[in-house]
A and B are shown apart, each in its own frame.
Chain A
Amino acid sequence: MLEKNYNLSNIKHEVLLEVAKLAKNNNLSDVDKLPYQMIEGPQSNFRCCIYKEREIISQRVRLAQGKSPSPTKENKNIVQVISSACEGCPIARYVVTDNCQKCMSKKCQQACKFDAISMTKDRAYIEASICKECGACAQACPYNAIADLMRPCKRSCPVDAISMDENNIVIINEERCINCGSCIKDCPFGAISDRSFMVDVIKLIQTGIPVYAEVAPAIEGQFGKGISIGALREGIKKLGFVDMYEAAIGADIVAVNEARELIRAKEDGHKMTTSCCPAFVNMIKKHFPTVIDCVSTTVSPMTVTARLIKSAHPDAVVVFIGPCIAKKGEVLESVTQDSADYALTFEELDVLFEAFEINLNTEERYLQQASIYGKQFASSGGVTKAVVQAIEEEGLNSEDYKVRQCNGADECKKALMILKSGKLPEDIIEGMACVGGCMNGPASRITGPVTMRNRNELLDQTDGRGIHENLNNYEKYNFSVHRK
């Protein structure tokens, strides 16, 4: 069933889709047939043989049901290695290429402090067992002849959580991993993926208990031109959810509360960080524990919105739907926080629409539950922009507060290092692990300029309501917005 030019996102999509259809029709007992149905053989299509392909499908089927990819290993992480799909990329990081002229200066050899470089008949040679992967030779070569072949997964990991086993198969150190999903996006063989709550959500909806959806602010633009919040709400209701709320309402509430926290922190001479990006918060918890007290005590927009929904509908089961993989981990970690009960991704929502044969309607009227400031929590810089707006709405001068916007995990790491050393000049760090913000989340349906165009067209339709003005609509609901 899977054809030759199937790429990675197709395979992930198709596996999720087949599992969703089985769950929908109450046929999950047939799940073991999927590898054989999807890979009919006898010719292999995308890997060396059909047996490997079937094993990859079967490990993906397990992930689609929320399980560990191998039945013998019960790992905890959201981000998991599909060991059968790992190509075991070359372990030698620096390799001399054809560009080598075997020049007279031998700058590479001089640059190498470890004597790892020798000269063969026609080019330089790096002895992998001696090489310490410092990169000095690559920098020194006047012909750019030394290639850096660092494994894409390892290169993409901002927290050095990736290593290899004795067979060169990737291992994720779960103590270090922040579930940002960057390796999932960057592995060219699709050997890393995320577990899914999709089957749980389908089953719960089928039992008839009230399941509500809250959608991340990044959703506008994700499902195509003209697909507004109104259209998504109708589509999501057709899936069997009772109703859908924008998590951007929670973002509005977070902005107001973080503004108040910031005002207080500045008075007390403390620094603070935002708390909405779960991968950023994981980075602090696992790699910068000494600054954990700087994290805003306001819960994330996901949790705030879940509390709002639950205060209006006490029996509600709340499912967060976003572009984020780390949110699944946030759900598991915040079971005592009255947060969302489950988290799905846009990829998975897309699959559900397809499995339930639901077409989204561009004619659906525009619906706005949040201010533009809450909606822009999805872009890098958007959170602190909303906090600044909230400060101004309180009649204070926002110029008194200096913000540092960290666009992507590397910038986050840098800022946290400075914060840890006590030398941060700014008052608040906005941390977003994805470059560009949630808009580029690893579980987005689409990213790039087309998405941005779709999104901007939709956001142009918003009215100019302020944050406080919008929150007047939700005043009757009473709940705490702080961590328990």
Chain B
Amino acid sequence: MTITICIGSSCHLKGSREVIRNLEELVERNGLQNKVEMEGSFCLNQCVKGVCVKIEDQIYSVTPSTTEEFFKNEVLTRVK
């Protein structure tokens, strides 16, 4: 599966780079490197919700501190 993270300036300022780093770590910790791919995207036009993270056309609002929760609820449930 692919996780798309908005890297537009607004999401950047809200910590998109940290969200990516956290997700990377979580993916690795759970041994999902071959199952989960990550890519950036241009502004997803929902700047107030930033950091915008998209899975299967659904946009989620994630912050560096909620990344782990997001990962548990939205990523782990999908790959299992």
Contact = CB atoms under 8 A, between A and B. Distances in A.
A99 to B, nearest CB: 48
A66 B40 contact: no
B41 interface: yes
A335 B39 contact: yes
B39 A67 contact: no
A76 B41 contact: yes
A66 B12 CA distance: 15
B12 A200 contact: yes
Given A203-B9, A332-B7, A341-B17, A195 B40 contact: no
A76 B6 CA distance: 12
B43 interface: yes
A336 interface: yes
Interface in B38-71: 38-43, 45
A209 B10 CA distance: 13
Contacts of A16: none
A199 interface: yes
Contacts of B43: 65-67, 200
Interface residues of B, number: 17
B42 A335 contact: no
A317 B12 contact: yes
A67 B9 contact: no
Given A66-B42, A67-B45, A335 B9 contact: no
Contacts of B7: 200, 331-332, 335, 341-342
B38 A336 contact: yes
A438 to B, nearest CB: 22
A167 interface: no
Contact of A332 (B13, B24, B41, B45): B41
A207 B40 contact: no
B12 A336 contact: no
A122 interface: no
A458 to B, nearest CB: 33
A200 B40 contact: no
A475 interface: no
17 contacts: A66-B8, A195-B42, A197-B42, A199-B9, A200-B7, A203-B9, A204-B9, A204-B13, A209-B13, A331-B40, A332-B42, A333-B39, A335-B5, A335-B40, A336-B20, A336-B38, A342-B7
Interface of B: 5, 7-10, 12-13, 17, 20, 24, 38-43, 45
Interface of A: 65-67, 76, 195, 197, 199-201, 203-204, 207, 209, 317, 331-333, 335-336, 341-342
Given A67-B42, A197-B42, A335-B38, 20 more contacts: A66-B42, A67-B45, A76-B41, A195-B42, A200-B12, A200-B43, A203-B9, A204-B12, A207-B13, A331-B40, A332-B7, A332-B39, A332-B41, A332-B42, A333-B39, A333-B40, A335-B7, A335-B20, A336-B20, A336-B24
